[in-house]
Amino acid sequence: MDAKILIFILNGLTQAAILFVLGSGLTLAFGLMRVVNMAHGAFYLLGGYIGYSVVKATGNWPLAVIAGGLSIALLGFIFERFMLVRVRGGDLPETLLTVAISMIIADLAVVFWPPQPITLNVPASLNFPVQVLGITYPSFRFILMGISVLIAVSLYLILYKTKLGAAVRAGVDDRETVSALGVNIQVIYTVVFVLAALLAGFAGVLGGSYLQLSPGSDTTILTYSLVVIILGGMGSLLGTVVSSLILGQILSFGLAYAPQYSYFLIFIPMAIVLALRPQGLFGKQI
Amino acid sequence: MQNKNLPRILLLVAIAVLLVLLPLYAGQYTITTFIRILYFGFLALSIGFLIGQGGMVSFTQTAFFGFTGYVIGLLGLERGLAFPLPELLGLAGVLLTALLLGMVAVRAYKIVFLMITLAFGQIFWAFAQQNTSLLHGWAGIRGIRPPVLLGIDFYNTANFYWGALVLFVLGLYLLWRITKSPFGLVLNGTRESPRRMAALGYPVYWIRVVAFLISAFYAGLGGILAAYNTGIITPTTIQLSRTIWVLLMVILGGASYFWGPVVGTIVVVWLDVLVSGITGRFNTIIGIIFVITVLFSPNGLLGLLDDIRRGEKFPKIRKFLFPKAASGE
C-alpha cells in the first residue's frame, strides 16, 4: 500500500479514537435520560484546558488525563444534582439549561486560558517515532487509540456484565418499568450523566494533545459528537464505534484531498442515513 | 368594557407614535439599535413561531438568515443584479432548502429534531467558513448596500428604519393571522399530540413541513435586512452561538406567547448594548439569565407577568427554594 494512504488511515483512526470517547458518553446519557447535553463540547474544552494547565505545571501527561476527566466529572455531578434534577422530565428546559451552561463555561474559559489555539505538550517518553509497515508514525497516536479501545471495552463490560449496566440498559428501553421494579432511577441518571461528563473530560485532554484547543472549538466538538451519535444511532455503543471509524476516515482523507470541504464532508453520511434510516445505523426507533 | 380597554389602547397608540417618530428625536446609535431589534426580531419570530406554535426547537433558522445575506452578496454585489432579483432568489432559495431539510427533519420530534436541525445549521456554517473560492471563508462578503427605491435612498439610516419597521409590522400581522387561522390551530394540535391529529386524518408530516417553511421565510426576511444594515455577511452571522443568542431572546420573552419573541429581542438587544459597555463577559451574563429563566420562569417574562396578574407570587421561585412544601410532600 502507498505509504501516504497508510498515514491517512492511521490519522483517521486517531481521529476516530477521540470521536468515540466523545460520542460514547453522550449516546449513553441520551439513550437513558433523553437529554442531549449541549454542554458536551464545553465540557471537552474545559477538560482539555485543565489538562493543559496540569501538563504545564507538572509535565505529567497521564495525570493530566485523570485531572481533566475527574474535574469535569465533578462539574457534571454538581450540575446534574443541583440544576438538571430540578427540571427533570421537561426535555426542552433540560436541554436549554445545558445550552446555558455551555455558554457560561466557554465564555469564562477565555478569562483563565490563552485566547490563541493551544496544544498539550506530550512528553517525549510517550511520543517517539515508531516503525510500522514501512512508515514512521508517532507512538503517542497509538497510545490514543489504545486508550480509546480500553474505554470501549470498559464501557462494554460495565454495560453488559454488571448489575448497574443491566439497570442502565433496561432504563434505555423502559424507564417507568425499571423504576417500578425498585431500581432507583434517579441514582442511575446521576451515574450515567457523571460518566458522560468524565468521558468528555478525558476526550478533551486526549483531543487537546492531538488537535488544538481554542475558544470556539466547543461548538465544533459539540457538532462532531452530535453527528457521531446521530449517524451511529442514539443509545447504541456499537453504533458509536462504527460511526466514529467512518467519520474519522472522512475527516482524515477530507483534510488531505479536499481541505475546503473537510468539515462539510462529515455531514454527508449523516444526511444519507437520516434520509434512509432516521434512527441511525444501529439505533432503535424512538 | 370601553373604559377598561381605553388605557391599554392609549398605551399602544403612544408606543406606536414613539416608534414611528423615533428618527426625529433619537440619535444615530439608538436608531441603529432599533434596526437590530427589527432584524433579530424577524429571526426571533421565526424560531419562536416554531417553538410556540409547533413545538419544534430548530437550530437551522439562523442559517436561513445568513442564506439570503449570502445570496444578496453574491448576486447583488458581486454579479451586479438589480433589486428585487437577488432578494427574491434568496428567499426562493431559502424556501427550497427549507423544504428539503424540513422533509428530513420534521420526521423527528423534540430533542432528536433539535439535534438534527443543529447539525443542518452547522453544515451551512462549515461550508461558509471553509469555502474560500465562492464565499471567501472567514472574510465573507463586504460592502452590501441597500437599494434606492421609488426615489428613497435606503442607505439613509432613518429611511431604512422606517422601511424595516413597515416590513416588520406587516410580518407581525401576517404571522398573527397565520397563528389564529385554522392552519395555526391544526399546528397547535400537532404540537400537543401528533398521534391524535394523525388519527383524526390530518397530514401531520406536511403541516410540520409547512410550519418549517413559514419559519424559514421569516428568518430569510430578517437576513435581508441584516445584510443591508451591517453591509457584511460572514460565517459569524450563522454560527451556533448566534442561534443560541436568539433562542435566549425567544425563551426569555416567553416562547408560548405570540409577543414573547418580540419582547425578548428588545430586552436582549438592549442588554447587549448596556452590558458590552461594562464588561466583555456578555455571554456569561446572558448564560446566567438563561439559567434563571429556565429554572424560575419557563414561560419567560410574559409568563411572569401573567403569574403576577393572577396573584401568584413567583410560584416557581418558591418551589425552587422549598421544593417539598410546594409539592405537598
pLDDT tens digits along A215-227 = 888 888 998 998 9
d(CA A250, CA A199) in angstroms, rounded, equals: 23
Burial string for B189-198 (b: 16+ CB within 10 Å, else e) reads bbbeebeebe
Strand, helix or coil for residue A138: strand
Residue A285: per-residue pLDDT: 60
* Of residues B287, B302, B246, B292, the one with CA closest to residue B269: B246
Chain A residues with beta carbon closer than 8 angstroms to that of B50: none
| CA–centroid distance for B62 within its chain | 9
- Using an 8 Å Cβ cutoff, are A139 and A131 in contact? no
Sign, CA torsion B87/B93/B98/B103? positive
**What chain A residue is nearest to B57 in terms of C-alpha separation?**
A92
**What chain B residue is nearest to A273 in terms of C-alpha separation?**
B104
Domain boundary assignment for chain B: 28-239
pLDDT at B327 over 50: no
- Using an 8 Å Cβ cutoff, are B67 and B223 in contact? yes
List the beta strands (DSSP E) in B95-137: none
Judged by average pLDDT, the poorest of A241-250, B18-27, B56-65, B257-266 is B18-27
Q: Report the domain count for chain A.
A: 1
pLDDT in tens, A177-209: 888 888 888 888 888 899 999 999 999 999 988
Total beta-carbon pairs less than 8 A apart between chain A and chain B: 112
**What chain A residue is nearest to B285 in terms of C-alpha separation?**
A104
* Of residues B32, B64, B65, B40, the one with CA closest to residue B245: B40
What is the rounded average pLDDT of the residues B112-140?
85
Residues whose CB falls within 8 Å of the CB of residue B50, separated by 6 or more in sequence, listed in order: B56, B57, B58, B61, B211, B212, B215
Residue B317: per-residue pLDDT: 59
List the beta strands (DSSP E) in chain A: 129-132, 135-138
d(CA A241, CA A232) in angstroms, rounded, equals: 8
d(CA A26, CA A38) in angstroms, rounded, equals: 9
**Residue B109's pLDDT band (boundaries 50, 70, 90)?**
confident
pLDDT in tens, B179-216: 999 999 999 999 888 889 988 989 999 999 999 999 99
d(CA B292, CA A218) in angstroms, rounded, equals: 23
Q: Which of residues 156-215 of A touch B (CB under 8 A)?
A: none
Query: A4 in a domain, yes or no?
Result: no
Chain B residues with beta carbon closer than 8 angstroms to that of A268: none
Q: Is B292 on the interface with A (CB under 8 A)?
A: no
What is the rounded average pLDDT of the residues B98-105?
92
Residue B3: per-residue pLDDT: 64
The CB-side HSE value for A152 (13 A sphere, CA atoms) comes to 21
Question: How far away is chain A from the Cα of B231, in angstroms, using its nearest Cα?
Answer: 24
Beta bridge partners of B232: B142
Find the helix or strand (DSSP H, E) in which B141 lies.
strand B141-142
d(CA B79, CA B76) in angstroms, rounded, equals: 6
Question: How far away is chain A from the Cα of B77, in angstroms, using its nearest Cα?
Answer: 23
Query: A32 in a domain, yes or no?
Result: yes
pLDDT at B326 over 50: no
Chain A residues with beta carbon closer than 8 angstroms to that of B112: 234, 286
Q: Is B317 on the interface with A (CB under 8 A)?
A: no
User: Are A223 and B122 in contact (CB < 8 Å)?
Assistant: yes
d(CA B258, CA B285) in angstroms, rounded, equals: 26
Q: Is A137 on the interface with B (CB under 8 A)?
A: no
pLDDT at B316 over 70: no
Q: Is B326 on the interface with A (CB under 8 A)?
A: no
* Of residues A254, A266, A263, the one with CA closest to residue A229: A266
Residue B96: per-residue pLDDT: 96
Helices (H), B181-239: 182-192, 194-199, 204-230
Chain A residues with beta carbon closer than 8 angstroms to that of B113: none
Instruction: Mutate one of A105, A218, A264 to test the B interface: name it (highest B CB count within 10 A).
Output: A264
Residue A173: per-residue pLDDT: 76
**What chain A residue is nearest to B297 in terms of C-alpha separation?**
A93
Instruction: Mutate one of B240, B245, B318, B324 to test the A interface: name it (highest A CB count within 10 A).
Output: B240
| B280 CB neighbour count, 10 Å cutoff | 11
d(CA B276, CA B73) in angstroms, rounded, equals: 29
ipTM of the complex: 0.83
Question: How far away is chain B from the Cα of A23, in angstroms, using its nearest Cα?
Answer: 13
> Parallel, antiparallel, or unpaired for β A135-138 and B141-142?
unpaired
Please give the residue range of the domain that contains residue A148: 23-217
**Residue B322's pLDDT band (boundaries 50, 70, 90)?**
low
pLDDT at B61 over 70: yes
Query: A230 in a domain, yes or no?
Result: no
Query: A282 in a domain, yes or no?
Result: no
- Using an 8 Å Cβ cutoff, are A167 and A11 in contact? no
User: Are B295 and A86 in contact (CB < 8 Å)?
Assistant: yes
**B282 backbone φψ class: left, alpha, beta (φ>0; ψ -120 to 50):** alpha
**Residue B158's pLDDT band (boundaries 50, 70, 90)?**
confident
Find the helix or strand (DSSP H, E) in which B253 lies.
helix B240-253
pLDDT at B323 over 60: no
Query: A89 in a domain, yes or no?
Result: yes
Question: How far away is chain B from the Cα of A286, in angstroms, using its nearest Cα?
Answer: 9
Residue A248: per-residue pLDDT: 93
- Using an 8 Å Cβ cutoff, are B210 and B102 in contact? no
pLDDT at B313 over 70: no
Q: What is the DSSP letter of A130?
A: E
What dihedral angle (degrees, nearest 10) is formed by the CA atoms of B13, B16, B20, B25? 80
**What chain B residue is nearest to A267 in terms of C-alpha separation?**
B123
**Residue B328's pLDDT band (boundaries 50, 70, 90)?**
very low
Q: What is the CA radius of gyration of chain B?
A: 21
User: Are A260 and B132 in contact (CB < 8 Å)?
Assistant: yes
Q: What is the DSSP letter of A122?
A: P
User: Are A86 and B241 in contact (CB < 8 Å)?
Assistant: no
User: Are B126 and A263 in contact (CB < 8 Å)?
Assistant: yes
End-to-end CA distance of chain A: 43
Whole-angstrom CA distances from B263 to A149, B252, B255, B310 are: 51, 8, 10, 20
Q: What is the mean pLDDT of chain B?
A: 86
pTM for this prediction = 0.88
- Using an 8 Å Cβ cutoff, are A17 and A209 in contact? no
| CA–centroid distance for B70 within its chain | 18
Residue spans of chain A under pLDDT 50: none
* Of residues B62, B50, B43, the one with CA closest to residue B124: B62
Instruction: Mutate one of A84, A86, A96 to test the B interface: name it (highest B CB count within 10 A).
Output: A96
User: Are B284 and A104 in contact (CB < 8 Å)?
Assistant: yes
End-to-end CA distance of chain B: 43
Q: Which of residues 115-134 of B touch A (CB under 8 A)?
A: 115-116, 118-119, 122-123, 126-127, 129-133
Instruction: Mutate one of B236, B283, B327 to test the A interface: name it (highest A CB count within 10 A).
Output: B283
What is the rounded average pLDDT of the residues B295-309?
84
Q: Which of residues 57-116 of A touch B (CB under 8 A)?
A: 83, 86-87, 90-93, 95-97, 99-101, 103-104, 106-108, 111
Residues whose CB falls within 8 Å of the CB of residue B71, separated by 6 or more in sequence, listed in order: B86, B89, B90, B93
